[in-house]
Structure 1
Amino acid sequence: MAKAAQNKTRTVFVQLSGSGAADVSAQATEAGSSSSVARGKAKARRVEVRGTAKAVTAQARKSDAKATELFATTNSVPGLGLRATNAALDQIAKRPDVVSITTIVPRTISNASSGDLVKALATWQQTGNTGKGVRVGIIDTGIDYTHADFGGEGTTAAYEDAHATADSGDPWTPTAKVVGGWDFVGDDYDADPSSASYQPVPNPDPNPLDCNGHGTHVAGTTAGYGVNADGSTYTSSYSALTSS
């Protein structure tokens, strides 16, 4: 491979050998182990995978001093996200504990209306089912829990106050609609290498406040109260709604 190509940096997922912690736990349970023993084996496997991930990164840095571990996965497929040169990747590919190296392709998000396809209005009218009592988890860009769609104030000031709390690291207060959340990457995360604000290393924090809007859109579609024309939270009957 030409030197220029060898020096090219890529973002990849490195799959490690062995099972993930979830499979280790399941296998222990199937073998008759107690739940505490199964949890212990899963915990030990997570520690082992993280240790291997660090060893892989350390070896990559022998060829590329700037090689960066972006994340490690331990529960499902054991592996790590790594940004390094092709030369460094060629070296770690020789390790017996590396199963495969796959380029991570950047993806973009967009919002679109799907009301006509979902037919939520018809469902409410015909069955009266609104999802009351159901809990859902959403993995996305976060959630603006100050939005009126979730019973919040729905003001710019409320959002800015929440954002200041997120920046300070102070705990946020869950609401009746948004009962919990976590930011797995941090507010400065940007995985687009073509962006001026490119910053692919996750810096998690405990505040799930949305900095993009897509997660709020998805959460609103999934479980929002709805918003009136004046921006206030909708509190009336869903089955009484009409398309007009």
Structure 2
Amino acid sequence: MNGYLSLGRPPRIEPPYPGWPSEQIATVEEAIAEAMRRVRAEKSSRDIFAAQENELTNWLHRMLWRLLVEQTVPGFTCDVFSPPQRGAKTTSHDGSRVSLEPDLSFFRCGIAMADNPDDGWFCECKILDDGSSHGVPNYIKDGLMRFVIGDYAWAMPSAQMIGYVRHAAGKGCVPAKRLHEQFAKLEPKSGKSYAVLTGLLAEKAREPHTDGVLQVHATTHARGFPLRDECAPGPITLRHLWFQLG
């Protein structure tokens, strides 16, 4: 009877999960970039500058749904990806926090969500504006560190940070330089292994876009929390996709 009930159902895999193929990650990033291009085409500069983080992310999310239905981004299709989720609830690595909500979550078709709900591509979005509280320190403290301490993507080896760069931060903004400068300030103050922030790994092979989509960079961070079976999660690589909005 048990064998009959399990027909067609993939076996449960315990975390940490293997990383997504690079081709699927590139597809998701291109879908996010195309969605933002369309948002910028439909919204006025005034609307974009006035929008709060949640509003920008809501626009991005709705456009991602439209792209998935239209299937205009190669590989971003309904037979490969489930509809992207906005604020999907997840739990921390130890289950102590049960209502965490990454800004955007992507899941693949064929993955048994009931068994593997943490096998996804999780994104956190932040405004980057030097003229307000939305600077790089906030981007790290209230965004990036959520992945490092095990709130988000604790079962995955990689995830995504999305930056909405505007106003004073927009002119000549270089993600690698901004992050490197802030990490240099934080590293001497860090006394815990999970907060060790390593240097940047620029993807030299990928050319920057000329339409406001900045070159993707990756940072790798040690994680010191244990998983529920006491095994180590390993480091996490965060891919930084920034949009220059003005």
TMscore range, shorter length: under 0.3
User: When the two structures are superposed, what TM-score results if normalisation uses the length of structure 2?
Assistant: 0.27
Find the structure with the greater CA-based Rg.
1
User: When the two structures are superposed, what TM-score results if normalisation uses the length of structure 1?
Assistant: 0.27
